[in-house]
Amino acid sequence: MSAAHRKTSAPVLFKQGMRALIGAVNVIAVPDVDGEPGGLTATAVTSLSADPPSLLVCINTNSSIAPVLTLNKAFSVNVLAHGQEDVAGAFGGQKNVRGKARFSYGTWTRSDHDIPLLIGARVNFECAVEDLHTFATHLMVIGRVVEVYISPLPLKPLLYGDGHYLTTG
C-alpha cells in the first residue's frame, strides 16, 4: 500500500472512502406511506439473482418507506437517466420537499399493481418483497422482480460519486 493511502476503520473515513464508489442513481418508490406514495433516492441497489430475477436494495431503517416495505410488500426501482438530477434531488432530500410532493418532480405513472413508475427512467423494476434483513442502521430488502420496463431510448445513466452527479462520456 502506498504512503498516499490512509488506513483506518473510523466511520468518517469509511464514508469518505465509500464516496469514491461510483453508483447508479435510483429512486425506490412504494405505493403507500400514510395514504400517499413514497420514495427515496438510493445507490445501494444491485442484482442478486437471475433465476429467480431479484434485486437487493439497502435503505436506512429510519426512512419513511422502511416500515411500508414490510406492509405493502411491493416497490419499484427506477434507474435514473442523465437529466433526471432534479428527481434524484427531490427524493434525496436536497429539494426540501417531502412525501407526495416529491412526485411533482418527473412524470410518474402507476403499474397494474399500483406501484409508482418514473416515466423516462432507463429502466423500471417492479418488485415484490421476498425477504427483509436488518443490519445495524439499514434494512436489506430482497425484491423478486415481477415486471421490467426498459426505455426504448438510448439514455445515458445518472451516476453518483465523489459527492456529485455524473454521467458517462
The predicted structure's pLDDT at residue 14: 78
**pLDDT tens digit string along 7-38?**
556 777 877 787 778 899 999 999 987 788 99
**Cα–Cα dist 41/166, whole Å:** 15
> Domain spanning 24-163 has what CATH number?
2.30.110.10
Sorted by where each begins, the domain ranges of the chain are 24-163
0.75 exceeded by pTM? yes
pLDDT tops 80 at residue 72:
no
**pLDDT tens digit string along 82-135?**
999 999 999 999 999 998 999 999 999 999 999 999 999 999 999 999 999 999
CA angle 45/140/100 to nearest 5° reads 70
The rounded Cα 45 to chain-centroid distance in angstroms is 6
